[in-house]
Structure 1
Amino acid sequence: MTEITAPKAPVTSDEFTGEIREQLKYTQGVTPEQATAADVYVAAAAAVRRHLVDAWMKTQKDMVSGDTKAVGYLSAEFLMGKQLSNALLNAGLTEQFEAA
């Protein structure tokens, strides 16, 4: 049976704020003072992605090994606007994001 792992959340909201600031600088190329709402959104999404990618890569490896089964689900309620909030929830980062 495949082990279920949860992504590791940062210890504090200050650390998560630092990750967002780092993404603003290195991904968006702006300071927090120069950042638009769109810049902050993209930086926050990139910071959350960093927390999800290790678990995602492990899942992909497990799926390729052939020891797992997959279930597909198609929903008519798929909305792109909810992706960041869903990713925050899945990564256990909602409280840190709100505090950041």
Structure 2
Amino acid sequence: MPASKHASRCYLKSDLARVDAHKIKKSEYDELPELTEEMLARATISKGGRPRSENPRKQLTLRLPADVIERWKATGPGWQTRMAERLSKVR
């Protein structure tokens, strides 16, 4: 990404000021279909997010020597997962 563009900036090809200024008229409500019992029966609720894990992780604070952490970090992205896998093999 070029340095001149900000990562968080949205580039839409809409006139958002015009959209925000729009006031809904009574006639626009007439265009909406009337909700029926059948429509409501077909409706589903989506809460979004990730599905719940069967084996959720729990947070733990662990103090390790700095050199141990640096060696794990040097193995690249995903080092925490690899560390957890290694720890789970120890019985």
TM-score by length of 1: 0.20
Which structure's residues are more often helix, by fraction?
1
Give the number of the structure whose alpha-carbon radius of gyration is greater: 2
TM-score by length of 2: 0.21
